[in-house]
Structure 1
Amino acid sequence: MADPLHERDLAPAALDLVAKAAGPYLETLPGRLVRDPAADVLFDRLGGPLPERGDGTLASVEELIEVGTRAATASSGPRFFHFVVGGATPAAQAADWVTSLLDQVSGIWAASPFATEAETVVLGWLKDLFGLPDSYGAVLTPSATFANLTALACARHWWAQQHGVDVAADGLVGLPQLPVLASGYVHPSNRKALQILGCGRDTIRVCARDDAGRVDIDAMERALIEIDGPAVIIASAGEVDSGDFDPIDALADLAERYGAWLHVDGAFGLFAAASPRLRHLVGGIERADSVTGDGHKWLNVPYESGFVFVRDAAIMGRAFGAWNAPYLPGAGDTHLNYGALGPESSRRARALPIWATLRAYGRSGYRAMIERHNDLALRLSVLVEEAADLELLAPVRLCVVCFRYCPRPAPTGQDIDVDVDELNRRIGAEILEDGRVYLGTTVYRGRVALRPAIVNWRTTEADIEFLAAVVREIGARIEAEMRGNTGPATDRPVE
C-alpha cells in the first residue's frame, strides 16, 4: 500500500467498520470492566517500527478497533468515577463523527462560515443555560485548562492596561508581578495557566480560613487593601475534592469594591446554574469578569471541549487577535473569527457535538440529568453514613462524594493497629487494578480519601450501590491483610 489516493474509494467502508463495532461496544459499557489490566498485552500490537509499506485502510482500522475496544479504559461508561469525566451522549457522539466527516476549519470565517455560525449558536445557548448575559464574549476551547488560560490572559491584558502597557505587543517587561488572590480551592489548571502566561505558577496568594481551603473574605480584603491597585480574584465553582463552592457573590462584592477582575473557574460546578434547586451554589456568576466551564465533564460531549465567557468582549480580540500576516484576516475584516479570540488558530469544529446534544435534550434534559446526578451523590453519601466501615468526610454539595474506608476497632486481644491513610491508599490502587469501578484518591484535610465524581449520563442508582459494595469488599480484604488475617473478609458483590 502507498498513497491514500489509491484507496479513496474505501473511506465509506472504513467508516462502516467503526459503525458496526459501535453497537457491540456500547452495549457492553454498563457491565464491562472499566479497565482490564489483562488487556495491556494488546499494547504491543500498537508498536513496532514505522511501516515502510502500510497495511492498507481497512486492515489498519480493523486492528485499531480490535485493540481499542478491548484495551481502552471505559471512561464513557457508567462506572467511571475518576477525576471528573462525563461520557458522550448519543447525540454528541454521533455529531463528533459528523465533525470528523466534515473536517471543518473553525478558526477563520472564510474557511468555514458553517463552523463559525455553529459556534456562535452554541455559545449563545450555553450563556442562556448558565444564566450569563448575552453580551459576554465567548469562545470554545479544548479544555477547562485552555479556558482558564484564555480567561486569565484576558485578565492579564486588562491588568497591564491599568499600568499603561499593551502586554500583547510589548510583553511583561517593566511591569510588577500580577497579584492573584484565591481560596484554598483554586485548581491547579489556574496555576498552570499563570505559569504559561509568564505570571508564575506559585504567585497565587491563598486566603483560606481552614485546612479545607474555605475562603477567608476578611483576609482577602486586607490583601486587596495592601495591593492598592488592580488585582485578579479566582473563585472556584466546584472544588475537586469535595465539590464545595466559593461564595461568588461575596467575592464579586470585593472585586467591585477594589476594582479587581473576578474570574470564576466553573469546570463542572458551573452546571449547577442549569438547575433551579442548585443554582444558588453559583449565585452571582453573572457578575464575574470571566467564567469558564468544561464540556467533556457535565455537558457529556466527547473530548476535547471547554468554553470561556468574558464580560468585556472586545478584550478577547485585543489579547489574542492581530494576526499580522497578509494571508490571514486583517483589521478590515468584519467577520467573526474565533481563532482571534483564544489561543488556538487551528481549531476543530468542536461546536457540532455541543449543538447536537443541546438540540437533542434541551434545557429540561440537562436539568434532569444534573439533578439526577446530585440525587445519586446524596444517595452514595447515605450509603456511606449507614456503613459501619465507611466515613463521610465532607457534606455533598453537588456531584462529588468525599469519603474513606474506616476500619472497625481491632478484635479483642489483637494489638495490630491499621494506618488508615495507608489503608485507603492501597484501596485506591486496588480499585484501579480491579477495574470493576474506577475512582481515585486524594488528600482532604490531611486525610487520604476516595472522591468519586458522578457526571456520566449513563450512571444509575445500581452503579452507585455497586461502587459502595466494591469499596467495602476491597477495603475489608486489604484491612484483613494489614492485620495479618488473610482469610476471606466479605462476599464479592455481584457484577
Structure 2
Amino acid sequence: MPDPLSDHANLAAALDLAASEAKVYLAGIDDALVRPRTSGPSQDMDLPDEGIGSLAALAELIESADESSTRSAGPRFFHFVMGGGTPAALGADWLASTLDQNAYNWISSPFASRLEQVSVEWLKDLFGLPGEWSGVITTGATMANFASLAAARRWWGLQQGVDIEADGFSGLPPMTILSSGYIHVSALKAIAMLGLGRDRVRRLSRDGAGRIDLDALASVLRERNQEPVVIVANAGDVNTGDFDPLADILAIARRHSAWVHVDGAFGLFAALSPLTRHLVEGLEHADSVAVDGHKWLNVPYDSGYAFVRDASYLAGAFGASASYLGRDARPAFGNLGPEMSRRARSLAVWATLRAYGRSGIRAMVERHVRLAQRVGEQVDAAPDLERLAEVRLNVVCFRFRPPGFPEDRLDDLNRRIGEMVLEDGRVYFGTTEYDGKVAFRPAIVNWRTREGDVDLIVTTVRELGARAIARAGPGLQAKPATEAAGEPEAPAEVAKPQR
C-alpha cells in the first residue's frame, strides 16, 4: 500500500468494519469472561516496509483485540476502580475521533472550547463546587492532581516572593507536604513530577490503616506557622473507599497558611447523593480538587478534571504564549493544564451529562453504593470470609479466612486466591495490603453492573478459596467449618450472572 491517499476510498468501509465489530463485542460483554483469552498480541514487532491497507490492518487488529483484550468495559471488572463507557459517552467519543479537534483554544476549535467551558461549569455544579472556581479537563486523576498541585506550587512560591514558573525554585526551602496514609500513588507521582519530592510527603497516620492524625496535623502546622504548607486530603481511599475528614482538616488548615488539595478521583461522586454527601462535607472550602471521569462518570479513557479556587494560580502555572497561537480574552484550556495539543475530551463529558443529567448520575451512584453494601452483607454472612473495613461507599475490603487456617499463612493464601480470581475470569479484581493484611478490594463503578454481577464476587472467592485450601500442603488444611457454614462446591461450568 503506497501513500495513504490511495486508501481514501476505503474510509467508509473502515468505519463500517469498526462499528460492526464493536457492536458484536459489546453485545457479548455482559456475560463474557473478563480475563483475556490469550496473554498478549502475536503481531510481529518489526516495522513493515510495505503496508497492507486499512481494511486488512483493521481485520488483523480486531482479531487480536478479541483474543487479548480484558473485558474491562464490562459489568464484572472490579479492579482499579474503572468504569465503562455509557452509550452517550461512547458515541460522543467516536465523534471526538472523527472531528479530530485540537482543544487548545478558541482559534484551534471554538466547538471544543465551548463544550469544555460548558462541561466544566456543569461538573462544578454536579459536585457542589463554587461557580467562580477555575477548571480544566485532563487525561485522568494523575494529571488532575498534577495540575492542581502545580497551582499549589505556584501559590507556595509566591507566598515566599518567588515566581517558580519564571525563575525556578531559586533557593527556596523544600515544600512541606502533609497527608494521611490514604494518599494515592497518582498524587505521589504528580508531586514527584513537580520536583517536590515524593519521599518528602509526611503521612500523619494514627493507625495501621492510614487514618489521619488530626492532632499531629495541627501540631505540625503550629510548628510551621510562618511557612506555607500544602495538605493533600483524600476523598476515597483506594483500598476501602474511606475518607479523610475534610471539614476537620479544612478547619485546622484555615488557622494557618495552608493550601488544601482534595484528591477525589472517585470519592468526589459521594457529593451527588444525600446518602453519602456527608463524606465530603466542607469540600467547597478547599483550594483545589482532582477527580476522574473514566471512573464513576463512565466516560471512556481518558478523562479527568482539575478545579482550583483561584483561577490565577492555575493560569499562572500553565500559561504559554507565542505569536502564532493568537490572542483571545476567552479561556484557552490548553493554558490551564500541561497539554497544548489536546483531544476534545469534552464531547464525552458533555454528552454524558446532557443524556443522563444530575438525577441519572445520582441514581447510578446510589445503585452502586447499594450493591457494595450487598456484597459487604454477603461477606459478613460467610464463615470463611472476613470484612476488614466499613463499606462507606463503593469498595468492599475483605479477605478469605477459613476457620483454623494458620494466621501466618493467610497472606500467602489470599495472594494465591487473588491470582486464581484473575485466572478464573468470571469476576476481575486483585489483592492489596490493608492494615498489614493481604486483602481483596473490589470496586463497583461500572454503569452496567447489576446484582447478579456482584453476587459472583463472594461465590467465586469462596469457591476458589476452598480449592486453594484443598491444594495446600500437609498441615495447612483448615479445620472443618460448622455444618451450617458448609463449603461451596465447585460448579461444573462457569456461573452466569442472573439478570
TM-score class, shorter-chain normalisation, is: over 0.9
Match of 2:180 among 183, 186, 201: 183
CA–CA separation in structure 2 for the residues paired with 1:94 and 1:200: 41
CA–CA separation in structure 1 for the residues paired with 2:399 and 2:103: 45
Q: Does 1:349 align with 2:344?
A: yes
- The question of whether the paired residues in 1 share the 8 Å contact of 2:462 and 2:488 is answered with no
1:413 is aligned to none
Match of 1:103 among 96, 100, 104: 100
1:138 is aligned to 135
CA–CA separation in structure 1 for the residues paired with 2:120 and 2:274: 21
**What's the C-alpha RMSD, in Å, of the aligned pairs?**
1.5
2:165 is aligned to 168
1:29 is aligned to 29
- Runs of 4+ in structure 1 off by over 4 angstroms are 483-486
Q: Tell me the matched-pair count.
A: 483
Q: Does 1:57 align with 2:54?
A: yes
- The question of whether the paired residues in 2 share the 8 Å contact of 1:184 and 1:213 is answered with yes
- Within a 5 Å distance, the mapping from 1:191-202 to structure 2 comes to 191-202=188-199
CA–CA separation in structure 1 for the residues paired with 2:234 and 2:245: 9
1:17 is aligned to 17
CA–CA separation in structure 2 for the residues paired with 1:47 and 1:394: 47
CA–CA separation in structure 1 for the residues paired with 2:247 and 2:467: 47
Are the structure 2 counterparts of residues 489 and 374 from structure 1 closer, same or farther at C-alpha, using a change threshold of 3 Å? closer
CA–CA separation in structure 2 for the residues paired with 1:315 and 1:71: 44
CA–CA separation in structure 2 for the residues paired with 1:307 and 1:120: 12
In structure 2, give the amino acid aligned to 1:29.
I
CA–CA separation in structure 2 for the residues paired with 1:233 and 1:2: 56
Q: Does 1:385 align with 2:384?
A: no
**CA deviation digits over 1:104-156, x for unaligned, max 9?**
00012101000000000110110010000110000000010000000000000
1:375 is aligned to 370
- Within a 5 Å distance, the mapping from 1:152-301 to structure 2 comes to 152-228=149-225, 229-301=227-299
CA–CA separation in structure 1 for the residues paired with 2:401 and 2:473: 14
In structure 2, give the amino acid aligned to 1:352.
L
Shift of 1:173: 2.5
2:480 is aligned to none
CA–CA separation in structure 2 for the residues paired with 1:47 and 1:18: 22
Structure 1 spans left out of the alignment, 5+ residues = 411-415
SS of equivalent to 1:327: helix
Moved more, 234-243 or 8-17: 8-17
CA–CA separation in structure 2 for the residues paired with 1:255 and 1:463: 42
- The question of whether the paired residues in 1 share the 8 Å contact of 2:426 and 2:456 is answered with no
In structure 2, give the amino acid aligned to 1:394.
A
**CA deviation digits over 1:3-42, x for unaligned, max 9?**
1111112111111111111221111111111013x4236x
- Within a 5 Å distance, the mapping from 1:474-489 to structure 2 comes to 474-484=464-474
Shift of 1:418: 6.9
Q: Does 1:443 align with 2:433?
A: yes
CA–CA separation in structure 2 for the residues paired with 1:490 and 1:202: 47
SS of equivalent to 2:39: helix
**CA deviation digits over 1:77-127, x for unaligned, max 9?**
001001110011011011110000000000121010000000001101100
Structure 2 spans left out of the alignment, 5+ residues = 478-486
Are the structure 2 counterparts of residues 209 and 417 from structure 1 closer, same or farther at C-alpha, using a change threshold of 3 Å? closer
TM-score (normalizing by structure 1)? 0.95
CA–CA separation in structure 2 for the residues paired with 1:361 and 1:334: 32
CA–CA separation in structure 2 for the residues paired with 1:429 and 1:58: 38
Shift of 1:69: 2.3
1:129 is aligned to 126
**CA deviation digits over 1:367-396, x for unaligned, max 9?**
100000000000000000000111100010
SS of equivalent to 2:107: coil
Match of 2:112 among 111, 115, 136: 115
Report percent identity of matched pairs: 54
- The question of whether the paired residues in 1 share the 8 Å contact of 2:145 and 2:306 is answered with yes
**CA deviation digits over 1:326-365, x for unaligned, max 9?**
21235xx313210101111110000000111111111111
SS of equivalent to 2:471: helix
CA–CA separation in structure 2 for the residues paired with 1:286 and 1:267: 16
1:322 is aligned to 320
- The question of whether the paired residues in 2 share the 8 Å contact of 1:104 and 1:115 is answered with yes
CA–CA separation in structure 1 for the residues paired with 2:495 and 2:149: 48
TM-score (normalizing by structure 2)? 0.94
2:8 is aligned to 8
Shift of 1:71: 1.7
Q: Does 1:313 align with 2:311?
A: yes
